[in-house]
Structures are given as structure tokens and as C-alpha cells.
Amino acid sequence: MSKILPFKAVRPARAYAGLVASRPYEDYKDEELRAQLEYNPYSFLHIINPGYKFQHEIGGEKRFGMVKNRYLEFKEEGTLIQDKKPCYYIYKICSREASCCGIIAAASAEDYEKNVIRRHEDTIAQREELFKDYLKVVGFNTEPVLLTYPDNPVIDELLESIMATRPEYEFATYNKERHTLWKIEDEANIEQIKSEFGAMEKLYIADGHHRSASSWLLAKESKEQNPDHTGEEPYNYFMSYLISESKLRIYEFSRLIKDLNGYSKEEFLIRLDEWFRIENRGIDLYKPGQKHHFNMYLDGEFYSLFLRNTNYEFTNSLSKLDSYILFEKILRPILGIEDLRYDNRIEYIHGRNDLIELKTRVDSGEFAVGFGMLPAEIEEIKQIADENLTMPPKSTYIEPKLRSGLTIYEF
């Protein structure tokens, strides 16, 4: 049974919420980042980019310490405050395309260890250790792990009733999103939410595999170093955003490859013919309409690739995943891409960007060929996690993406 608890969030004072909240650091281009740091003294970017105060680039553990210092300054100045009692938080995001809402809460690191919280992606040990060390120094977490659970009418009804009341925050952003946050502090509501999640046998990580792994490493290390460990210390939990499965938005990643691995166009198409039925679509912006169909852009033309089921054997849930089929039958054996994370011959476009970008980047000569597919479905992701299998890197691009700095978890 899953253990999902309320916590005492550190968060912006009401007047500063829209100014403090920022997109994830890596989303900013250099010029936009500089503008935010120069003209918005309340931006959370000042905390995670602490060297700006001294106009100096700072890295490594020295940066970790300065992140903590900037964070303490925001608290001392009253920009950030802490709730006096544990709460759950409803966070709703409305964009031009869709809206979603979920619950910000503390998830159990022990549940992660025991596979109650299930994962579908591999993590890199070096990144896990680095982020664990970062968390240990700064003492807080501001990027929740995105967890998903089966649609639950009891939780839905409770959220709707609370969202009919005045929110704690409501603000809009330049990309025409509206962000709203409510506190859940009524004891009866808290107990109901705790009970509903407690009855769930498993939850699934939708996004944030490295963050959850690092949080578990921190909990394990802290436990070993604390002779008075009880299991209730804040380091035993990590901040999560829990959203029902129907509210997730799952996109695919297209693949761009820089060369044909020594093959001519004709030789390459002949190699593909072994596993796929190929149709030339010309200049039509073709996108596949069903699973195990792929689109390919090569030499100014689109192609449809239909997997030959008579040749391919489905052995488990992973073997049915389109990103796996693409890797196993094209990228690795024909194009020589062995490492999807680090090979500099491959790049990715997430599915929110359309076929025009794929076409443009191939037409520019930067890439020789591009491939696309349909997004994975939530049931595929769950089944792969249930079978303790892992998807290839960049198999899913999942939204919502949350703003940093609206709720912070201290340990």
C-alpha cells in the first residue's frame, strides 16, 4: 500500500508567487535567462544560479553551498514562507491545449525501494549520486517527481469541491498558461486523501526517475548515519505531484540521425525492406496512424514504414513498444547507433514539435534521416514497469511540466 503524506511546504508569500515561479532551468536560452536574472530579483532562478549575484560562474560542491545560501536569503527576506502544519496542495495548470490538476505531496522512499512506486526507465548511477549529494547539501527539493495513479472518483470529487474555493495562488505566464494552487489543510480532507492513496497497491513514475532514485539514495544514507532513525524523518520522503492517468499527456520523441552509416539511399531502403513494408509518400507530411507504423523523412521525401508482423515476434511488453522496435530493427543494426543517450549521431525532437521541424532539420543537411512514431500509451508504460523492464531512452515526453519554486520540500 502506498504512503502519500502531507508536508509543511516552503512556498512564496502570496504577493510573490508569480514572480518566484520559474520554468525548469534547462528550458531557458541564455538571453532569456540573463533577462530573468537581471530584471526579476524574486525569480527562483536566483537560487539555482547563485553565482549571478557575484557575476561569477560557480560549479561543483561550492555551487551547492551557495544555492543553499540564496535559498536562506529568500526565507530571511520573507519571499519564501513555510506552512505551520502539514498540508496537501492542489496544483492546476491550464494552457491553450489542455488543463490538468494534481496533488503535491510527500511520497515514501521506502515505497520506491519496495517497488510500490514503479519505474520504467533506467537511471545513470553517476547522475543519481550527483543529485543525491546536491540534495544533502542544500536540504530541500523543489522539483516534484511526477507520479500517476488510476482514476479515482473519490479524489476527483474532493479536488473539485476544494477548487471551488478561493485559491492560495493564481497567476498567468508569458506562454499563456494559468497556474493555480490551493492548500488542503482540513483534517477530514487530509485523512480522506491519505486513505485513498493508502489503498492503492502501486503507483507509477511518469517523469523524474533520477530524482526519485537520488531521493532514495539520500534516505538510505541518512538512515545509516542516524543512530536515532525512526522512519518518520523528512529525508524518508520526496516531493511528488500525483496526477490521475487520464490527465497525463504523453508525447513521442522523433529521432534524427546524422548519416546513413555508409549506406547509399538505395542500399538503406533495401535493408529496411527486410523488416518493413515501405511506401513513398512524397512531400505529404505523413504521420503514422497506428502502432508499429513509423514515418521516415529521407532525401526530401516522406515514407511510411509498416512492420512486417510475419517476421517479428512479440515476446513481452517491451518488444511491442515502437521506440524499442525502431532501435532493435533500424537504429542499432542498420545505422550503428549503440548508445541512445550518448551517441552524437542521434538527436531527438519531442512530439509537441511537429513534422515541419523534422523536415527542416533534415533538409538543412544537418541530418540525413528522421523517424517518427505514435506516442506510447499509459497501459504500455505500466505493463513494462510491472514486468520490471525498462524502455529505451527518450521513449516518452510527458506533461504536465511544473513550475519550480511554488512548493519546496525541506528535509
- 320: domain CATH number? 3.30.1760
Residues 14 and 132 in one domain: yes
Angle between helices 60-76 and 125-138 (to 10 degrees): 40
pLDDT in tens, 184-222: 999 999 999 999 999 999 999 999 999 999 999 999 999
Mean per-residue pLDDT for 71-90?
97
pTM: 0.93
Tell me the residue range of the domain where 45 lies.
4-249+399-410
Same domain, 164 and 106: yes
- 342 within 8 A of 311, measured Cβ to Cβ: no
Confirm if 95 and 179 have CB atoms less than 8 A apart.
no
- Quick one: 108 and 161 in the same domain? yes
pLDDT confidence tier of residue 122, bands split at 50, 70 and 90: confident
Asked if the bond preceding 150 is cis, omega within 30° of 0, the reply is no
How much is the average pLDDT of 265-286?
96
DSSP 22-56: B--GGGS-HHHHHHHHHH-TT-THHHHSGGGGGT-
Q: Are 15 and 125 in a shared domain?
A: yes
**216-226 as b/e: b if 16+ CB within 10 A:** bbbbbebbeee
Number of domains forming the structure of the chain: 2
For residues 169 and 258, membership in a common domain is answered with no
State mean pLDDT over 119-139.
93
**Which amino acid belongs to residue 132?**
K
Q: Compute the average pLDDT of residues 101-109.
A: 98
Residue 174 has a pLDDT of 87
Looking at the structure, tell me whether residues 184 and 303 fall in a common domain: no
- Chain centroid to CA 49: 21
**55 has a pLDDT exceeding 90:** no
On the question of pLDDT at 60 being above 80, the answer is no
Clarify whether residues 45 and 169 are in a common domain.
yes
Same domain, 292 and 204: no
Residue 68 has pLDDT above 90, yes or no: yes
> Contact at 8 Å (CB) between 20 and 405?
yes
pLDDT at residue 56 above 70?
no
Using the predicted structure, report yes or no on whether residue 131 has a pLDDT greater than 90: yes
Residues 206 and 314 in one domain: no
* pLDDT above 90 for 59: no
The 10s digit of each residue's pLDDT in 153-185 is: 999 999 999 999 999 999 999 889 999 999 999
- Clarify whether residues 43 and 152 are in a common domain: yes
> In the prediction, which pLDDT does 61 show?
77
Instruction: Verify that 237 and 257 share a domain, yes or no.
Output: no
pLDDT of residue 341: 86
**Residue 245 and residue 269 in one domain:** no
- Tens-digit pLDDT profile for residues 280-324: 999 999 999 999 999 999 999 999 999 997 778 899 999 999 999
CB 117 within 8 A of CB 107: yes
